[in-house]
Amino acid sequence: MTDKPTILAMLAGAAGGAVAIGLMEAFAASAAFPLFAVPFATSIVLVMGSPDAAPAQPRALVGGHLVSTLVGFAVLTVAGPGPWAAALAVGLAIVAMQVTDTFHPPAGIDPLLVVANNLSWTFLLVPVGAGAVLLAAFAFVWHLTVRRYDWPHRWW
């Protein structure tokens, strides 16, 4: 049986995840931005549900999304949109995140979205850049105030 503090931490993480998803949906609706193009659902699950994991730290969260998106735009510029280009972009993004020490598995969707949908460079700023920073800020406040948990283990 799991002890009471662990259960409370799980419930607080789940509640934080639900609040963050609700805010993400509200943003998508108010900005008339398609929810499928907001790539943070799995990031929210990771950051709120496994805050100790290295991919859940701010460097990986923000950097992984930015690096992966940049790789997507590089591939889109060179190869154009298409399924094989999208697949190549995801593979290269995995390497780029590992090389830059920003490995964040949920960010693997970013280059796929960029290449498959032929997105404009503004996608890098909004929703990716702004969204990743806002998610890190939300997680910091949530973990500190609601969970009473010291997150992150390292900022950069």
pLDDT of residue 84: 98
How confident is residue 27, by pLDDT bands cut at 50, 70 and 90?
confident
pLDDT in tens, 31-82: 777 666 778 889 999 999 999 999 999 999 999 999 999 999 999 999 999 9
* Single-letter amino acid, residue 153: H
Say whether pTM exceeds 0.85: yes
User: Domain spans of the chain?
Assistant: 4-145
